[in-house]
Structure 1
Amino acid sequence: MDINYQHIKVIGFDADDTLWVNETYFREAEDEIQRLLSKYETPNKIDQELFKMEMKNLPLYGYGVKAFILSMVEVALELSNYNVSNKTIEAILNIGKNMLEKPVELLDGVEDVLSVLSKKYRLILATKGDLLDQERKLEKSGLTKYFHHIEVLSDKQERNYSNLLSHLDIKPSEFLMIGNSLKSDVLPLVNINAHAIHIPFHTTWAHETVSKKETNGKTYKTISGLREVLNLLD
Structure 2
Amino acid sequence: MEINFEGVRVIGFDADDTLWVNETYFRDAEEKFTSLLEKYETKNKIDQELFSTEIRNLDLYGYGIKGFVLSMIECALELSNNQVSQKTILECLNLGKEMISRPVELLNGVTEVLEQLKDKYRLIVLTKGDLLDQERKIERSGLSQYFHHVEVLSDKKEKNYRDLLDHLQISPSEFLMIGNSLKSDVLPLVGIGARAVHVPFHTTWQHEEVLEPVENNGYITISTLTDILEYV
Q: Give the TM-score band, short-chain normalised.
A: over 0.9
Aligned match of 1:61: 61
Q: Does 1:186 align with 2:186?
A: yes
Q: Matches of 2:201 and 2:120 in 1, distance apart?
A: 26
Aligned match of 1:175: 175
CA contact (8 A) 1:13 1:126 kept: yes
Aligned match of 1:10: 10
Deviation at 1:217, TM superposition (A): 5.5
Q: Matches of 1:217 and 1:47 in 2, distance apart?
A: 32
Aligned match of 2:73: 73
CA RMSD, Structure 1 to Structure 2 (Å) = 0.7
CA contact (8 A) 1:77 1:83 kept: yes
Report the secondary structure of 1:200's partner residue.
coil
Aligned match of 2:149: 149
Query: Tell me, which stretches of 5 or more residues in structure 1 are unaligned?
Result: none
Q: Matches of 1:103 and 1:41 in 2, distance apart?
A: 33
Deviation at 1:232, TM superposition (A): 1.1
Identity %: 66
Length, aligned pairs only: 232
Aligned match of 1:226: 225
Deviation at 1:216, TM superposition (A): 2.5
Q: Matches of 1:60 and 1:2 in 2, distance apart?
A: 40
Q: Does 1:116 align with 2:113?
A: no
Aligned match of 1:103: 103
CA contact (8 A) 1:13 1:179 kept: yes
TM-score calculated relative to the size of structure 2: 0.99
In structure 1, give the amino acid aligned to 2:190: V
Deviation at 1:199, TM superposition (A): 0.2
Q: Matches of 2:31 and 2:194 in 1, distance apart?
A: 38
Aligned match of 1:129: 129
TM-score calculated relative to the size of structure 1: 0.98
Aligned match of 1:85: 85
Q: Matches of 2:189 and 2:99 in 1, distance apart?
A: 30
Q: Does 1:139 align with 2:120?
A: no
- List, as ranges, runs of 4+ consecutive aligned residues in structure 1 with deviation greater than 2 Å: 216-219
Deviations 1:110-139 (A, max 9, x none): 011011101100000000000000000000
Query: Tell me, which stretches of 5 or more residues in structure 2 are unaligned?
Result: none
Q: Matches of 1:207 and 1:41 in 2, distance apart?
A: 23
